[in-house]
RNA sequence: GCGCCCGUAGCUCAGUUGGAUAGAGCAACGGAUUUCUAAUCCGUUGGUCACUGGUUCGAGUCCAGUCGGGCGCGCCA
């Protein structure tokens, strides 16, 4: 189904004689007093043609044929074209929307293949609050892309290789507490890592033994490989528990180690093509001078002027590092899935790394680079009330499992207070849906590039722009349907819609906007736009709910209002689902 | 020092890619309920969009500079 702006743009295009490169865009009206949609094209055209904008607008208006869609088109202000939709046309569109399993979202002409690289926890470390944004954001983008109709590959690029395993192996062999490992494998692995890491700083012999264990692992020593696999297995099982709770799944989980045999060929190619060269015993990629100095990721300025800031692809000890791993991974993904886009969901501190990596890729495989979009989707940090990075009271990093537990506990206390009569099992389930929903929504609501302040009270509030508020809108609709069933009334399926009351028309228009919003959300990788839309939808629904009694109305009006409820519920459930948030049937 | 990001109501945040008189929520105050879940809705108060200049019909948005904050800057990822 086409969106309304798309339809109006077609009409506008037919009415403009020579648009040139002026975008004939239709946007929602900035103020509902002006109408429903507006076009600014006349002002842009007037500027280019050096004409009076209102005269240009008048010319367009003269040729514009939208009588079937709009009750009025007016010229206002400096040359705005304001479109007001016919209520009966809105009604017909909502009828179409009701039959559309895609909820008004246009189907892409050519579905893309999108690889999404997100979450990426490290083996032998507990998942902590730092992983939540990547996990939730990446999962939401994957769900949105899939819903729109693209093919999605969810790829968990876990950190399962690197120098830390030398220390972990030393710790495993010398200070491992089996009972503790049994109870909480990741906590124990973290403990032995910290233990050995601390001793390495004080004792060179420990550092040396860690180095030797690492060399043994890398050269295929059977015992160390076995222990390494055991660490991965234990870690993966903990990851799976968390992902299960969050409702997150992956299509592939290929850790860094998967790319080991591809690393040296990558370095060799870069060297052979003179993209990389030796420097201080390492292989490095330097600037090719194709960009202005300020924009060049391989240059940096200090007191003495511009100096090199190379990307290291092979360390002086002969080991490759993450730039190389990422390049090998990129090569593998191109060969395996031929994606149109690869999305990397990480925190903002890695911006320079990705700019360098993308740039090396461009120089290494220019033809492939021209056909794939590489998107570094980065996000800010989570802060505590004090404005500093979010930590526990004792100053530790917050473990993700603990955070989710606390969300459910706090939510359970709320639900129990409000609805003590419900059986405990049901209160637990409601608390799970609300608690996890609140955490996810709080994370997805702010613009992802800013830091945001974590607050239990705010995210769990039933007032304002929160998950519980949105879930409540859905629950109220379900309550209507429950009452209907209890009264033994039959719902007339597929009854005609009658949008008469202004609140009904407003709700209809709002429902039709979903299809406009969702493609933008994916294009900009910004689920917060969807969150804001859903809030507006819930708000508009509540206004309808107040103004238009459903069960107390009669006949065709009642049947129509029930249909509006049904579509609203479906859209709320689907929309929240795309944010990874479930809805309860009662709360 | 250089780069990236941020600075919008007392607080937490939006702002449809340059549009019309800058919007929500919380907090404060005032209304609406024999309820379809008031877990809601309606209203009032609250602004030098950090500052200065520039670009143009038009700037919170783009450009330059200043102030303030976060992050990053050769062998961690």
Residue ranges of domains in chain A, CATH in brackets? 4-85 (3.30.1360.70), 113-159+256-379 (3.40.50.620), 164-253 (no CATH), 400-578 (1.10.730.10)
Beta bridge partners of A300: A307
Give Cβ neighbours of residue A376 (< 8 Å, ≥ 6 apart). Answer: A344, A346, A350, A351, A354, A355, A358
pLDDT digits (tens, 9 = 90+) for A434-471: 999 999 999 999 999 999 899 999 999 988 999 999 99
Alpha helices (runs of H) in A255-391, residue ranges in sequence order: 260-272, 322-337, 351-364, 366-371
* Per-residue b or e along A344-358, where b marks 16 or more CB atoms closer than 10 Å to that residue's CB: bbbeeeeeebbbbbb
Distance A61 CA to B54 C1' (A): 35
Cα–Cα distances (Å) from A523 to A101, A345, A358, A377, in that order, read: 22, 14, 19, 11
Q: Chain B positions under 7 Å from a protein CB?
A: 1-7, 12-21, 23-27, 36-42, 56-58, 70-77
DSSP state of A259: G
Average pLDDT, chain A: 93
Residue A386: pLDDT band by 50, 70, 90 thresholds? confident
Map tokens 């222990």 to a residue.
A227
**C1' of B71 to CA of A505 (Å):** 47
Give the closest residue to B72 (Cα–C1′): A349
- pLDDT, tens digit (0-9, with 9 covering 90-100), for A159-209: 999 889 999 999 999 999 999 999 999 999 999 999 999 898 888 899 999
Helix (H) / strand (E) containing A413: helix A400-418
**Tokens read off for A421:** 């009569």
pLDDT of residue A405: 96
Q: List the A47 CA – B63 C1' distance (angstroms).
A: 20
Rounded CA separation A412/A424 (Å): 9
ipTM of the shown complex: 0.95
Q: Is the pLDDT of residue A302 over 80?
A: no
Distance A441 CA to B30 C1' (A): 32
Q: Predicted confidence band at A290 (pLDDT cuts at 50, 70, 90)? A: confident
User: A88-130: per-residue pLDDT in tens?
Assistant: 999 999 999 999 999 999 999 999 999 999 999 999 999 999 8
Helical pair A53-63 and A4-15, crossing angle rounded to 10 deg: 100
Residues 6+ apart with CB under 8 A from A48: A20, A22
**Listed residue (A542, A526, A538, A543) closest to A578, CA to CA:** A526
pLDDT of residue A92: 95
Burial A553-570 (b: 16+ CB within 10 A, else e): eeeebbbbbbbbbbbbbb
Strands (E), A444-509: 452-453
Mean pLDDT of A134-144: 97
For strand B, list residues 109-128 of chain A whose Cβ lies within 7 Å of it. Answer: none
d(CA A380, C1' B10) / Å = 25
pLDDT given for residue A340 in this prediction: 97
A6 touches strand B (CB under 7 A): no
Q: How far apart are the C-alpha atoms of A446 and A548, rounded to whole Å?
A: 32
CA distance A440 to A360: 35
CA of A561, C1' of B33: distance in angstroms: 22
CB atoms within 10 A of CB A192: 23
A280 touches strand B (CB under 7 A): yes
Q: Taking a C-beta distance cutoff of 8 angstroms, is the pair A582, A536 a contact?
A: no
Torsion sign across C-alpha atoms A452, A458, A461, A462:
negative
Rounded to 5 degrees, what are φ and ψ at A35?
145, -160
Closest by alpha carbon to A547, among A534, A557, A555, A535? A557
Q: Is the CB of A50 under 7 A from strand B?
A: no
Whether nucleic acid strand B comes within 7 Å of the CB of A277, the answer is no
**Does pLDDT of A491 surpass 80?**
no
How far apart are alpha carbons A179 and A293 in whole angstroms? Answer: 56
Long-range CB contacts for residues A534-538, cutoff 8 Å, separation at least 24: A534/A470, A534/A572, A534/A575, A534/A576, A534/A579, A535/A465, A535/A469, A535/A470, A536/A510, A537/A473, A537/A510, A537/A511, A537/A568, A537/A571, A537/A572, A537/A575, A538/A469, A538/A470, A538/A472, A538/A473, A538/A572
Q: Which residues pair with A375 in a beta bridge?
A: A343
Predicted pLDDT of residue A387: 83
Which phi and psi (to 5°) does residue A401 adopt? -60, -40
For residue range A229-246, list pLDDT tens digits in order: 999 999 999 999 999 999
CB proximity list for A336: less than 8 A, separation 6 or greater: none
- Round to a whole number and report the distance in Å from the CA of A458 to the C1' of B26: 8
Tokens standing for residue A234: 């234990």
């Amino acid at each position: 189904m086409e969106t309304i702006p798309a339809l109006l743009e077609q009409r506008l295009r037919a009415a403009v004689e020579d648009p040139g490169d002026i975008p004939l865009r239709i946007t929602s009206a900035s103020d509902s007093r002006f109408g429903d949609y507006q076009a600014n094209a006349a002002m842009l055209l007037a500027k280019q043609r050096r004409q009076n904008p209102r005269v240009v607008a008048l010319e367009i208006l003269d040729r514009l044929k939208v009588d079937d869609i709009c009750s009025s088109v007016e010229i206002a202000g400096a040359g705005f074209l304001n479109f007001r939709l016919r209520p009966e046309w809105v009604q017909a569109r909502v009828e179409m929307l009701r039959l559309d399993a895609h909820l008004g979202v246009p189907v892409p002409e050519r579905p893309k293949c999108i690889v999404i690289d997100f979450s990426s926890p490290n083996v032998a470390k507990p998942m902590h609050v730092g992983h939540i944004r990547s996990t939730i954001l990446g999962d939401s983008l994957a769900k949105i892309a899939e819903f729109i109709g693209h093919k999605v590959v969810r790829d968990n690029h876990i950190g399962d290789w690197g120098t830390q395993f030398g220390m972990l192996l030393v710790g495993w062999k010398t200070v491992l507490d089996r009972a503790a490992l049994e109870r909480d494998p990741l906590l124990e692995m973290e403990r032995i890592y910290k233990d050995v890491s601390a001793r390495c700083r004080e004792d060179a012999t420990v550092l040396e033994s860690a180095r030797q264990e690492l060399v043994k692992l890398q050269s295929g020593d059977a015992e160390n490989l076995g222990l390494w696999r055991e660490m991965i297995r234990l870690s993966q099982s903990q990851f799976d528990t968390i992902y299960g709770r969050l409702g997150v799944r992956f299509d592939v989980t290929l850790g860094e180690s998967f790319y080991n045999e591809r690393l040296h060929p990558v370095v060799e190619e870069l060297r052979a093509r003179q993209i990389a060269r030796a420097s201080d015993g390492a292989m490095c990629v330097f600037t090719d001078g194709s960009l202005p100095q300020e924009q060049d990721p391989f240059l940096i300025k200090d007191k003495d002027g511009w100096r090199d800031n190379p990307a290291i692809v092979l360390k002086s000890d002969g080991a490759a590092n993450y730039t190389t791993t990422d390049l090998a991974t990129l090569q593998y993904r191109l060969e395996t899935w031929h994606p149109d886009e690869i999305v990397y969901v990480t925190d903002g501190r890695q911006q320079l790394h990705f700019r360098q990596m993308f740039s090396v890729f461009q120089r290494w495989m220019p033809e492939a680079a021209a056909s794939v979009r590489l998107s570094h989707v980065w996000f800010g940090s989570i802060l505590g009330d004090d404005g500093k990075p979010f930590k526990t009271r004792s100053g530790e990093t917050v473990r993700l499992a603990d955070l989710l537990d606390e969300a459910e506990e706090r939510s359970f206390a709320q639900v129990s207070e409000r609805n003590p009569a419900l059986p405990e099992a049901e209160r637990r389930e409601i608390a799970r849906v609300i608690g996890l929903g609140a955490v996810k929504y709080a994370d997805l609501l702010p613009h992802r590039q800013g830091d945001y302040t974590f607050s239990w009270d705010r995210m769990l509030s039933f007032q304002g722009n929160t998950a519980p508020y949105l879930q409540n809108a859905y629950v109220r609709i379900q309550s209507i349907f429950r009452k209907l069933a209890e009264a033994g009334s039959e719902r007339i399926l597929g009854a005609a819609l009658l949008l008469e009351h202004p609140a009904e028309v407003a709700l209809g228009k709002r429902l039709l906007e979903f299809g406009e919003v969702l493609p933008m959300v994916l294009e900009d990788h910004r689920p917060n736009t969807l969150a804001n839309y859903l809030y507006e939808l819930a708000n508009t629904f509540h206004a309808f709910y107040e103004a238009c009694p459903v069960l107390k109305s009669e006949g065709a009006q009642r049947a129509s209002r029930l249909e509006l409820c049904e579509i609203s519920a479906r859209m709320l459930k689907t929309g929240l689902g795309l944010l990874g948030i479930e809805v309860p049937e009662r709360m």
